[in-house]
Chain A
Amino acid sequence: LFVSMTPAIAVRLTILAACLAAAAVVIVAIVRTPSPRRIAAVADARLRLEDCLVTALQYADDPDAVSRLVVRDATSRLAGGSPAHVFPFRVPAWIGWVAVVTITASAILTLTGRNTSFGVPRRPAASSGAGVTAAAAVPNGSVQAGDAASSGPTSRNRASSHAGPAPARDPGNTQGADGAGDRGKAPGARPDTSASRAPRSEDGRRSAAAAAPAAVTPAADVVTPLAPRALSASNDLGSAGGVASRGQTAASGAGGVSSRGTASGSEGTPRTGGEPPRDARPDTHDARYAAARARAEAALGGERIPPGLRAYLTAYFTAINRDSRRTER
């Protein structure tokens, strides 16, 4: 439940639970608060005042001389005592269990929340952004591509560590976006992509990998366990994303998309994994797009996917749609 819960709902539920708890505490405190006479009786019993306080409380407003003597006697008897002595604070036995339950629940929520970042599951070995990362395309874990390749904001800082184990695929892709600069931002990239914040390479230009987080890599480690079929559908569109960027910008290094036409001269670099070159594939973008989208939709409809991831996938397919790009342009 918590995994599939959006952060807004989770925050609201937390606030609601806190309010309910506070209200319950207030109600219980009001209900269980003893009357002043009862408190006086308890104090009389504990201090062995022989009903002095109760009597004084009853006759506190009586102007009679004897009543004032009673009040004075009670005051003098209470002068030497302290409330902490009369009513010492004792921690109930059950408070320990409450603490254990609270800590356990907090730990569970914390552990659950680590895998959920605004509804997008995070993988320890892969960047977020529906498993799409430019770092996956970095062959040697170079910083240029990896440290800013993740498209999800929460995984951005971990991109460098993810870059290491990422399979080396195409060395040329690592610098495939050289010269692209800000232009290398792929159209399909999420608006929140870290491309603009990606560190620059030695020549001062931004890494193409960082500029193309939306490009989907077929690497296996980017597939989220929560939506394998949906992500595999999107992964299949890796080339589609690449196609989308191809000819417009050079930001196509990530995701195994060849960076044809880039300034870095990576064109013609052989791809890894035996994947055929993009030109060799049957290139009917619309058909592939439609097929992939259909598969994604089917997967979305058939699997339990966090709403955040669902929205992300939807945005992704919308972004890589050629028609929508035309509209934006």
Chain B
Amino acid sequence: MLQESGTEAIEADAAAFRECFNHLRTEIGRVFVGQPALVEHLLLCFFCQGHALLEGAPGLGKTLLVRTLSDALDLRFARVQCTPDLMPADITGTNILAETPDGHRQFSFHRGPIFANIVLADEINRATPRTQSAFLEAMQERHVTVFGVGHAIDEPFCVFATENPIEMEGTYPLPEAQLDRFFFKLTVRIPGLDEMAEIMARTTGDVQPHVTPRFGAAAVRRMSSLIKRVRIADETMRLALRLVRATHPDTEEATPAVKKYVRYGASPRAAQAIILASKARALVAGRFHASADDVRSVAVPALHHRLILNFQGEMDQVVPSTIVHGVLAAVAPDSSR
């Protein structure tokens, strides 16, 4: 009886998760036109409590997308416009001298924007490496240290950083270590003609789309914990691991393109991202187990920003996602068992 109630509770949570996911898709779809794969990957990243790097030209709706996500879930949202003079304290917060009601003065910690549930680091590559490292600790450790005192960050916590791939002057490209902290790297493409027409119709009229907030931080935390309970078979997990290994030029699974253009492949963190996102995708599909299709569908956003190209790759201006697609085509399902 207890077990039956356990399964029913899990099924109820899974149903709530699917409802929440569909709600977000719908609400974002009201504001953000097109690119359903981008939206799905963004939501998967959010529910897996990962951080995403959104890359796209200015004006494609990156900030709007993240903002809509926050609004639809009724979460705390913070936006940081990164500039070269942005200091770490502007991100994490700092101690300030404040006066207490009884007239005493003492230092109190003033929380920075990183303590929001969803943080949008706009044009993060314009911040100095020092400021970027402030994000680094918060993203990885989920707490910040100010004057030797640690401050935990409430969950859910996600950093969505944006990058402008065109204008690189005066920027500080993110180091590989920090790139690896991002769960997904999502590319926002230029909308098509029909999509653009729809955007014009929505944004230039007198009726502005309105997002309905639902759920909340507690529901998101419960859903995130449910994702980790989704099962994955060894064969499926090995497929993800082989995909990651295939991005390393010195492994036997490496494709010719990897051996030619890649200096260093994806880290085990990439495999964690793939498997976790696969579980979330399975839950969205109404399953309690991840499949090989789930793994393959999330491999590109999880892998392509983790490939470090060599000189030949830089010279030939190889797109890492192309290499990942080649890896996906080359790596077959595990049939050793």
Contacts and interface: CB of A to CB of B under 8 A. Distances in A.
Interface of A: 35, 37-38, 41, 50-52, 54-56, 58-59, 63-70, 72-73
Nearest to B239: A51
Interface residues of B, number: 25
Q: What 9 A-B pairs come out closest when comparing CB atoms?
A: A50-B291, A65-B6, A55-B289, A51-B291, A55-B233, A54-B233, A65-B7, A37-B337, A69-B288
B235 A51 contact: yes
A54 B235 contact: yes
A54 B230 CA distance: 14
B337 A55 contact: no
Contacts of A72: 7
Contacts of A69: 7, 10-11, 288
Contacts of B337: 35, 37-38, 41
Nearest to A50: B291
16 contacts: A37-B235, A50-B289, A51-B235, A52-B291, A54-B233, A54-B236, A55-B233, A55-B236, A55-B289, A56-B289, A58-B233, A65-B9, A66-B229, A66-B231, A69-B7, A73-B288
Tell me the dominant secondary structure on chain A's binding face. Answer: helix
Contacts of A70: 231, 288-289
Contacts of A52: 287, 289, 291
Contacts of B235: 37, 41, 51, 54
Contact of B236 (A35, A51, A64, A65): A51
A51 B9 CA distance: 24
Nearest to B337: A37
A72 B290 CA distance: 15
A66 B279 CA distance: 12
Interface of B: 3, 6-7, 9-11, 229-236, 287-294, 333, 335, 337
Contacts, number: 65
Nearest to B234: A58
Contacts of B294: 50
Chain B CB count within 10 A is highest, among A35, A50, A56, A68, for A50
A65 B231 contact: no
B7 A55 contact: no
A41 B239 CA distance: 13
A300 B229 CA distance: 88
A214 B277 CA distance: 95
Given A35-B337, A41-B335, A59-B231, A50 B293 contact: yes
A69 B10 CA distance: 9
Given A54-B235, A64-B229, 6 more contacts: A37-B235, A38-B335, A41-B333, A51-B290, A65-B10, A72-B7
Contact of B3 (A41, A51, A68, A73): A68
A290 B26 CA distance: 116
A37 B291 CA distance: 15
A58 B334 CA distance: 15
A59 B229 CA distance: 12
B239 to A, nearest CB: 9
A38 B333 CA distance: 12
Given A37-B337, A51-B236, A55-B233, A65 B3 contact: yes
Contacts of A38: 335, 337
Contacts of B232: 55
A64 to B, nearest CB: 8
A117 to B, nearest CB: 56
B15 to A, nearest CB: 12
Nearest to B294: A50
Contacts of A55: 231-233, 236, 289-290
Nearest to A63: B3
A51 to B, nearest CB: 4
B7 to A, nearest CB: 5
Contacts of A68: 3, 7
A73 B14 CA distance: 14
Nearest to B286: A73
B10 A50 contact: no
Contact of A67 (B9, B231, B335): B231
Contacts of B6: 65
A66 B288 CA distance: 7
Contacts of B7: 65, 68-69, 72
A46 to B, nearest CB: 13
A63 B3 CA distance: 9
A280 to B, nearest CB: 92
A66 B290 contact: no
Contacts of A54: 233, 235-236
A7 to B, nearest CB: 51
Contacts of A51: 233, 235-236, 289-292
Nearest to B3: A65
Contacts of B288: 66, 69-70, 73
Contacts of A35: 337
A66 B335 contact: no
A225 to B, nearest CB: 61
A228 B294 CA distance: 83
A53 to B, nearest CB: 9
A60 B161 CA distance: 42
